[in-house]
Structure 1
């Protein structure tokens, strides 16, 4: 059963968005409270001298209360792997910098944001509306082609400020419109939980390659013992804390230990 839901994951998400279109999710009014970094005039995004990248995480782990946390490096932990890679002066070498000189969508701006798992655009469009800046470009991708088409068909979609595309972020190679070492922020909001737990670290490692030195990963997801988990019926659990919904989409519920361990 695990293999079926893994192999057919894109089909299940396409069916989800075909049914619900843009009606299921509402724009995230809490977005700029939990992630003030996304309101550019208030944030470190303009502080280009920051030498070390970090992951800023808010999570409703164990409760509905979201508490910001800056995760830094150590050994044999998820944040250690990320921390080592994100201190990326060595990785973002002159060769990588040269790639930035080649034309790509958003190349002319200094601040670039990527949302992974954009759905129908309930995060992307609030970011663009709040930050009416010519110096910001937002990329957004989703596993579902239907979701990406919903974003592109939205009247607020502006190709001069935003680029939506389909991407399987669990793949070893990403087909993306931007070079490595080019992003200031990557958003993972209720997205990592939809990925098989064994592939989560690979996804994070790939994201890291596209961040600038000083870049951020902003993360929020489902916490263990959330009411959403307690409502699952017997037989819905694929493996520890990883469930399948009635529509075939999957969800993982995190603990602080899982958040911090590889």
Structure 2
């Protein structure tokens, strides 16, 4: 029997076991690709070049004004949903990514695209010593996340929470998080270890305590979380975004990924007029969404230098609490490591 969850896969009540294989993705793929009414979702990239939507030319221009419109759209989105609980806490994340609970004391995590804090809250609650840096392109989102932390009674934990505005797909991350010199040290340590066949020098590979003496930056992070964030980045800016994440991770650091999968029900609701590119769509409010297959995720992260640890579809049957209809949700789950 399908569990009761909301539209983003949050359990509605209780601590039910988390399932991720309610059906087979390949079976759904065959069903979708044989349905003529859904043909516009399946066109190959050489046929579907974004001309369906008149705004696609502007979208692919990659101009700063286009990036500014992206931020404006998300500002408007979070302003509209500033009250109530449009997003619920993603408590399942600590089950999906137990590394966040077992990490070293005072580990540092960067949550990219923090929204209103639905990912941050369970992490702050679950790991008492972790330091969380959180960024978003939307100023409205950052205002809301601080309010949410106060409302949740976590004001005493705010010394471990550090929000800042950033569009990582355009300008990367600020140098106070990891300066150019420290990023070079990260790379040099990797090269030293990889070229040392006798394993000499392996001791202290991940010892970055000396960086605190420099006081030029925070010396990078141990974790990066990309939870339903990369899909909102225009496809042509994704490689830059992933490279930025790679650059501020310490060697051995983990990037934890979860996002919309190919043929998720949200994708199937878009009409052809909403397409702005191959598997890319624009909503009526100006926000965008991309739907990932496993190969597209693998190519992005491996090309940036990451090692793939886990990558799979999560196929969830959920019940819409308003109308009782069963929904088939597809998410991509991944864990990637910076080489050590």
TM over 0.5, shorter chain: yes
TM-score computed with the length of structure 2 as normaliser: 0.54
Question: What TM-score does the superposition give when structure 1 sets the normalisation length?
Answer: 0.69
Tell me the matched-pair count: 194
Q: Which residue of 2 aligns with 1:128?
A: 124
Q: Does 1:14 align with 2:10?
A: no
Contact map agreement 1:114 1:183 (CA 8 A) in 2 = yes
Selected match of 2:86 from 24, 29, 45: 24
When Rg is computed on C-alpha atoms for both structures, the one with the higher figure is 2
Q: Identify the match of residue 115 of structure 2 among 119, 127, 140.
A: 119
- Whole-angstrom CA distance in 1 between matches of 2:99 and 2:75: 31
Residue 237 of structure 1: how far off its partner (Å): 0.7
Could you tell me which residue of structure 1 aligns to residue 96 of structure 2?
A: 34
Residue 61 of structure 1 is matched in structure 2 by none
- What does residue 231 of structure 1 align with? 269
Q: Between 111-120 and 181-190, report the one with greater CA deviation.
A: 181-190
Q: Deviations over 1:207-251 (max 9, x none)?
A: 111111110000011111111100112201111100011211000
Q: 2 CA distance for matches of 1:20 and 1:29?
A: 20
1:142 pairs with 2:136: yes
Give ranges in structure 2 of 5+ residues lacking alignment.
1-54, 60-65, 184-218, 301-340
SS in 2 for 1:159: helix
Q: Which segments of structure 1 move beyond 3 Å, counting only runs of 4 or more?
A: 4-7
Kept in 2: contact 1:17–1:146 (CA 8 A): yes
Q: How does 1:185-196 map to 2 (within 5 A)?
A: 185-196=223-234
CA RMSD of aligned residues (A): 1.8
Contact kept? 2:110, 2:221, Cα under 8 Å? yes
Alignment gaps of 5+ in structure 1: 47-108
Change in Cα spacing, 1:16 to 1:123, as seen in structure 2 (3 Å) is: same
| C-alpha distance in 2 between matches for 1:6 and 1:132 | 36
User: Cα gap change, 1:6/1:161 in structure 2, threshold over 3 Å: closer, same or farther?
Assistant: closer
Aligned mate of 1:151, from 137, 141, 145: 145
Aligned to 1:71: none
Match of residue 64 from structure 1 = none
Determine which structure has the larger helix proportion and give its number.
Answer: 2
Per the alignment, residue 57 of structure 1 pairs with none
Distance 1:223 1:27 in 2: 20
Kept after mapping to 2: 8 A contact 1:6/1:196: no
